[in-house]
Structure formats: structure tokens, C-alpha cells
Amino acid sequence: MGPIGVFDSGYGGLTILGELLKKFPKYDFIYLGDNARSPYGNRSFEVVYKYTLEAVELLFNEGCHLVILACNTASAKALRTIQQKNLPLLDPNRRVLGVIRPVSEVVGNYTKTRTIGILGTIGTILSNSYPLEIAKLFPDIKTVQEACPMWVPIVENNEIFSEGANYFVKKNIQSIFSREPNIDTLILGCTHYPLLLPVIEKNVEKNVQILTSGKIVTDSLSNYLERHPEIEIKCSKTGILKFFTTENPEKFNQTASLFLGRDVEGTKVELPFLIK
């Protein structure tokens, strides 16, 4: 048995972890933020894949049988290759899951105009993962995308309530709605973006629904664990929560505590890690 691993390039995955902790208070979790190498958003496929695989290997080494890539960029660029190429060699009994599929599965329940806007990092948008996934499930839905490359650095530097944050959020929101005014549902296709929610809401019309992935991914995991008792049984349940960061833990503790709304005490880890 072992904890569930939750991975993100930085602080964004905390928006997923927060919801997981509400739904699964007894389960053990390890959160890993690759803060030293964040943001991943405009890095190449090869680099995001390499960094993500290193993170998954570290979490497996920590005893995780199930790892959630709580990062859209990693889910878009690394998940499939890890599932198909690496898992069979590393350990075919462990699982790595992402965030794009669960959100795509439910969007059809929200939009009435059948027109959806997707906001994400350059990497996620260029991968076309959301439009491809949504087209498979809901061929009648039109998708429009907008890359918001400044939003993750704003969050990572905790500049959420600055004038600069409002400037960049407004700019991207205006851009996507000027291209498609019919959008009635916006997917925040980056786990950092819910931390900017108050700023986003200020710049979006009231009738537009904003979908964040935390709750959706948590419900999807709950369903997954019901369908896969062989994985569920391997998730330890002693209520332990550990945090790892690849950066200075003092800065991580401060910012992560603020974002998660509870005390965080992180340990510094090196990636790639060396098996002793």
C-alpha cells in the first residue's frame, strides 16, 4: 500500500489536491511541485515528457501506486507516452491518470450554446488535447482556444491581486470572446488558473460558466476507484499528507499554505532523483 501521488509543475496542482483532501480525508497523499523548473507551459514536448517521467518515477519510488498528473500541460504532453511506453516497463500494475479526459467527459452537461472556450498554457493549447478529446465525446460542440502564457508566472510569483494580473486576464478574456461571442462555458485548462478565479470572474459576463478541474477530477477519481478495487486497495489510508518541492522549501511552504488554506511543510527533493 502507498499514498496517492499528485504532481504539478508548481503550485497549480494544489487546486486539485484541495478537492481531493475534502473527498478523501482518510487517504494518504504526496504532493510534488517541480517549482525549480516551473513553468512547463512553453517548454517542448520532449522536455515536459522528461520532467514528468522523472516526477512519476520519484513518486513511484515513494510507494505511490497511483499518480495523478494534476497539470494540464503534463497531461497533454506526457501522459499518453508514459501510459503506453513507460508504465509497462516501470510497473504495469501502477497507474498514472491526467486531468484533461475527466473535464472533457462532462463539458456537454454545461454548455447550452454548444460553444466552449478553453484557456490554457501554450503547450496545452498547441497540443489540441481538449478539442480532440471533446470532439470524440461531443461532436456537436464547437471549441475555441486561447493560450494565456502570463497567467502561470503571475500565480507562481503570487501576483494574483496586482494590476498586472488584471491586465493580462482581461486581455486574454477579451481576445477569446471577440473571436467567439457565443461561448457560454469556459474551461480553465490549467490547474493554476483557479487561483486567479476572482480576477477571471471580474472580467467574464455573469451568464458564462467557468469550469475548474478540481471537483471534476475528484469525482472522476472516486468513480475510477469504485471501478478499480485492485488499485483502491493499494491506497493507504492513515491521513498522512506529505509535500515535496524541487525549490527552496521556505518559499514553497509560504505560498503553498496560502493557496491550500492550511499549513504546509515541504521537503526539498532533487529531480531526476538518484536511487540509493
What is the per-residue DSSP string for the chain?
-BPEEEEESSSTTHHHHHHHHHH-TTS-EEEEE-GGG---TTS-HHHHHHHHHHHHHHHHHTT-SEEEE--HHHHHHTHHHIIIIIHHHH-TT-EEE-SHHHHHHHGGGT-SSSEEEEEE-HHHHHHTHHHHHHHHH-TT-EEEEEE-TTHHHHHHTT-TTSHHHHHHHHHHHHHHHHH-TT--EEEE-STTGGGGHHHHHHHS-TTSEEE-HHHHHHHHHHHHHHH-HHHHTTB--S--EEEEESS-HHHHHHHHHHHHTS---EEE--SS----
Indicate the residue among 147 and 235 with the shorter CB distance to ligand DGL. 147
Least distance (Å) from ligand DGL to the CB of residue 75? Answer: 8
Instruction: List residues near ligand DGL by CB under 6 A.
Output: 8-10, 12, 38-41, 71-73, 121, 124, 152, 190-192
Of the residues 64, 148, 190, 235, only one is catalytic, namely: 190
Indicate the residue among 141 and 152 with the shorter CB distance to ligand DGL. 152
Least distance (Å) from ligand DGL to the CB of residue 166? Answer: 20
Indicate the residue among 68 and 235 with the shorter CB distance to ligand DGL. 68
71 is catalytic: yes
Indicate the residue among 185 and 191 with the shorter CB distance to ligand DGL. 191
Least distance (Å) from ligand DGL to the CB of residue 175? Answer: 19
Least distance (Å) from ligand DGL to the CB of residue 47? Answer: 11
Annotated catalytic sites, by residue? Answer: 71, 190
